[in-house]
């Protein structure tokens, strides 16, 4: 009875040793996919313009007024250089629709 249990444990151990790399592989694939998505989002966030839901070109770099501290800034639309406020969305200058930050604010 006791030896049977030992064999069972050894079997489970062998199974774990044989399949542990799958967990590592899955983790690796998840990390690679997540970083690929992050790079894509970063590229979109760093792009000088984005598209509003109606298809207008919206500049994400230029002159903006911070809605928190009212500072007039020349820079990224997603972050105020003065107070450090981050903005999840900006308004399309053409139609006024909100455009979400590719980084999710
Ligand atoms: Zn500000
Ligand atoms: Zn628009």
Do 12 and 27 fall within a single domain? Answer: yes
**Are the C-beta atoms of 89 and 101 separated by less than 8 Å?**
yes
pLDDT band of 23, cuts 50, 70, 90: confident
Ligand located closest to 98 CA: 2
Ramachandran region, residue 76 (left: φ > 0; alpha: ψ -120 to 50; beta: rest): beta
Sorted by sequence, the CB contacts under 8 Å of residue 20 that are 6+ apart come out as none
91 alpha carbon – ligand 2 mean position (Å): 8
Distance 49 CA to ligand 1 centre (A): 21
User: Same domain for 53 and 92?
Assistant: yes
Distance CA 26, CA 21 (A): 8
Report yes or no on whether pTM surpasses 0.75: no
- The DSSP secondary-structure symbol of 40 reads H
Instruction: Write the pLDDT tens digit of every residue in 64-78.
Output: 899 899 999 998 888
Report the domain count for the chain: 2
Q: How far is the CA of 37 from the centre of ligand 1 (A)?
A: 29
Range of the domain at 94: 49-100
């Amino acid at each position: 009875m006791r030896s049977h249990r030992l064999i069972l444990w050894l079997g489970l151990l062998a199974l774990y040793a044989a399949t542990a790399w799958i967990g590592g592989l899955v983790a690796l694939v998840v990390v690679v996919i997540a970083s690929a998505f992050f790079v894509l989002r970063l590229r979109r966030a760093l792009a000088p313009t984005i598209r509003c839901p109606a298809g207008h070109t919206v500049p994400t770099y230029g002159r903006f007024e911070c809605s928190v501290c009212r500072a007039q800034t020349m820079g990224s639309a997603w972050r105020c250089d003065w107070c450090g406020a981050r903005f999840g969305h900006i308004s399309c200058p053409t139609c006024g629709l909100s455009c979400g930050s590719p980084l999710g604010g």
